Structure formats: structure tokens, C-alpha cells
Amino acid sequence: MSYEFCLLHWGRDRYIMSNIDEGVFFLTGKDFTNAGAASSNLKGVLEKRSVQQDIIRRTAIAAFEAEMNVIIYAVAGMMKYRITETEISVTIQDMGQGIPNIELAMTEGYSTAPDYIREMGFGSGMGLPNIKKSTDSFVINSMVGEGTTLEFIIHLPKGD
């Protein structure tokens, strides 16, 4: 049984018991054709749960920025999400070059993107700050030459 299947299967069983949704999307570096699909799917899950619009909007911003970072900078990665009654947590893990200086990377306007990426309108140095602004908690762990793991949480108000 594949890892993906296990996770999804587990997610489905849990959903029946306790209203938890979870899943995983695989991301391929430089695959601009499918860029945004994972975030769009996650948005669909939130809409199905009738999560309030503002929270869907914030999650979509953070997920898209994180997804694009994998597409632009990494070889491959995955996005895992888990939605409970109280929060949306998303983990994006990649195999990539890593971030040598996270504080610098968090500075608005700082970017290491090559020119062709910038010409597409990406790499403006707003991605990580956008994630920070849109989420309630945001953690980055990175190892140069190995990859980056980014996790964010958005709280759900009671009754959502």
C-alpha cells in the first residue's frame, strides 16, 4: 500500500469518526503547468466544509505561495493538510536547495529567483511575508542542500 493511499485512507476513516479532513498532494519542481493545483484542491475542501470566506482566502494565499516556492526552487515536494474542528494545518516539505538565511528570506522584497522566474511575475520577495501575514502560526525549517519544511496553521472559529 502506497504512502499516499495510507494517508488518504486514514483520512477518510478519521473523517467519519471526528470530522477531520486530511490529504497530501505531490509537487514537481518546474512544473508550471500544474502550479496552483494543490492549493486549488485544498480551497475546494475548505469550501465543501463551508469554512468562512476570509479563512479560505487566507489559506489559499499561504498555500499558493508555499506551493509556488516548491515549483520554483525545489526538485520535488509535497503538501499535506489536516483540517480539524479548530484549525487548518498545512505542511509543505521539499527536496531542494534549502534556505541559507531564513531571516533574510523573510524580508519583504528579498528574492534569489532567476530572471526568467521574475519575468513571469514570481520571485518578487513577497511570498514568505504573504504567508506570515495570512496565517496564525508559521514555522520554517531548512537545511542547505537538503530541503525546506514549512508549516502553517490557521485557526478556525468555533462553530465553523
Partner 1 sequence: MVLQEIVNSLSLDVKTPELDLTKEVTGGYISDLLSDVMGNASQGNIWITLQIHLNIVAVASLKGLAGIILVNNRKPDEDTLRRAIAENIPVMTSTLPTFELVGRLYALGLRCR
- The residues binding partner 1 (CB under 8 A) are 32-33, 35-37, 39-40, 43, 53, 57, 60-61, 64-65, 68, 120-122, 124, 126-127, 130, 133-134
Least distance in angstroms from the C-beta of 96 to partner 1: 18
Least distance in angstroms from the C-beta of 23 to partner 1: 17
| Residue closest to 31 by CA, chosen among 94, 61, 76, 95 | 76
Least distance in angstroms from the C-beta of 72 to partner 1: 11
Give the residue with the Cβ less far from partner 1, 121 or 145.
121
> Where are the alpha helices (H) located in 37-140, listed in sequence order?
37-48, 53-73, 102-105, 115-119, 127-134
Give the residue with the Cβ less far from partner 1, 2 or 33.
33
Cell numbers 520535488: residue = 76
Give the residue with the Cβ less far from partner 1, 108 or 151.
108
Least distance in angstroms from the C-beta of 18 to partner 1: 28
Number of C-beta neighbours around residue 69 at 10 A: 25
Which residues is 23 bridged to in the sheet? 81
| Residue closest to 72 by CA, chosen among 96, 90, 91, 93 | 96
Phi, psi at 134, each rounded to 5°: -90, -10
Give the residue with the Cβ less far from partner 1, 96 or 123.
123
Least distance in angstroms from the C-beta of 99 to partner 1: 17
Reported as type and span, the H/E element at residue 10 is helix 3-18
Give the residue with the Cβ less far from partner 1, 94 or 122.
122
